[in-house]
């Protein structure tokens, strides 16, 4: 299988990490230690893995990180109180509350409680508003910002492009649309969002120059939905049963990769595409927060 159309997210993330490490070194030379606090509520296995990956990347780049682990029964009011304390703690420039949270805790209220200046996830209403307005001084959500960086560094033309985003979630779909429809360099696209209630999703996809698959449905995007030469970005992470696998399952994306790759002009592998970029942008946002605090 030819690999010349693969977008290597790991390699691009490493480029960003190199720049981030240099910025960390510059801050340290001025007596500023970038700090990042992870907050995890409960023992969700995937959350533990994700936070562990972020901790290791922080250490590699010279960012001080700590993880606050709370019991799954922690009340919302207790969590909000801790977040307000962290907002005032000058050792930490970024705060990340790992999703998912227990059902009795409102993610929206939690994200609204984190200071917008430390909201490196880009979920605070202030940062969401700045994204919609095209302001440059907010934090963009890490995954769509990472996808945008993949497109830029892979020299994908977005100006005037027809883009279909599969999924309307607050973490990827909506902010991805907001990024790509801005009147700005590396944007200026015509964006269509398709979701579970859309009636002609396949038809929309067949018209697209760029497809960002973030619907959360295993291998949803099939070869007959992709125009030859289109750029395909696979954001999805889905667990499917596999009796031959050690754990009885395997992870697949939202794209039927084996059949779509021969058709696509460029395509992200999964894993190795969007995932590394999400962490790279998270670290970049943390250093940006530290630089702003040092001014």
Domain boundaries, the chain: 32-115, 142-274
pLDDT of residue 108: 96
pLDDT of residue 148: 98
pLDDT of residue 248: 87
pLDDT at 277 over 70: yes
Q: Which residues are catalytic?
A: 54, 98, 121
Tell me the percentage of the chain whose pLDDT exceeds 70. Answer: 99
Instruction: Give tens-digit pLDDT for 223-240.
Output: 999 999 999 999 999 988
Residues 6+ apart with CB under 8 A from 57: 17, 279, 283
| Residue 221 DSSP class | B
Beta strands in 170-284 (DSSP E): 190-194, 210-213, 231-234, 238-241, 249-252, 266-267
Q: Where residue 245 falls among pLDDT bands split at 50, 70, 90?
A: confident
Mean pLDDT of 137-148: 98
pLDDT at 2 over 70: no
Does the predicted TM-score (pTM) go above 0.85? yes
Mean pLDDT of 163-190: 97
Q: Say if 32-115 and 142-274 have the same CATH topology.
A: yes
Mean pLDDT of 150-165: 98
Q: What is the mean pLDDT of the chain?
A: 96
pLDDT of residue 286: 98
Give the CATH class of 32-115.
alpha beta
Q: Which residues pair with 249 in a beta bridge?
A: 241
3-state secondary structure of 211: strand
Helices H / strands E in the chain, number of each: 10, 10
CATH architecture under which domain 142-274 falls: 3-Layer(aba) Sandwich (3.40)
Tell me the percentage of the chain whose pLDDT exceeds 90. Answer: 93
Q: Which of 254, 255, 265 is nearest to 157 (CA)?
A: 265
Q: What are phi and psi of 94, to 5 degrees?
A: -130, 145
Mean pLDDT of 116-140: 97
pLDDT of residue 1: 38
pLDDT of residue 168: 97
pLDDT at 40 over 90: yes
Give the containing element (helix H, strand E) for 97. Answer: strand 94-97
């Amino acid at each position: 299988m030819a690999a010349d159309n693969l977008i290597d997210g790991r390699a691009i993330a490493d480029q960003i990490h190199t720049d981030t490490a240099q910025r960390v070194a510059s801050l340290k030379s001025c007596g500023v230690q970038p700090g990042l606090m992870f907050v995890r509520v409960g023992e969700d296995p995937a959350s533990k893995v994700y936070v562990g990956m972020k901790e290791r990347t922080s250490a590699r780049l010279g960012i001080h990180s700590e993880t606050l682990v709370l019991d799954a029964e922690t009340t919302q009011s207790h969590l909000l109180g801790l977040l307000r304390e962290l907002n005032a703690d000058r050792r930490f420039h970024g705060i990340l509350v790992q999703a998912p949270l227990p059902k009795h805790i409102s993610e929206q209220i939690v994200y609204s409680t984190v200071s917008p200046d430390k909201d490196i996830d880009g979920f605070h209403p202030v940062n969401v508003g700045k994204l919609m307005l095209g302001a440059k001084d907010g934090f963009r959500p890490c995954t769509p910002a990472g996808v945008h960086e993949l497109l830029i560094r892979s020299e994908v033309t977005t100006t005037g492009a027809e883009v279909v985003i599969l999924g309307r979630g607050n973490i990827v779909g909506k902010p991805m649309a907001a990024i790509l429809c801005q009147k700005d360099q590396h944007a200026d696209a015509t964006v269509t969002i398709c979701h579970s209630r859309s009636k002609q999703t396949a038809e929309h996809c067949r018209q697209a120059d760029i497809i960002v698959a973030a619907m959360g449905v295993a291998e949803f995007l099939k070869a007959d939905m992709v125009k030859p030469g289109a750029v395909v970005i696979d954001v999805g992470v889905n667990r499917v049963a596999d009796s031959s696998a050690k754990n009885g399952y395997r992870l697949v994306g939202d794209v039927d990769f084996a059949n779509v790759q021969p058709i696509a002009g460029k395509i992200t592998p999964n894993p190795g595409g969007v995932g590394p970029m999400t962490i790279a942008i998270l670290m970049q946002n943390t250093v940006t927060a530290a630089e702003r605090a040092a001014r």
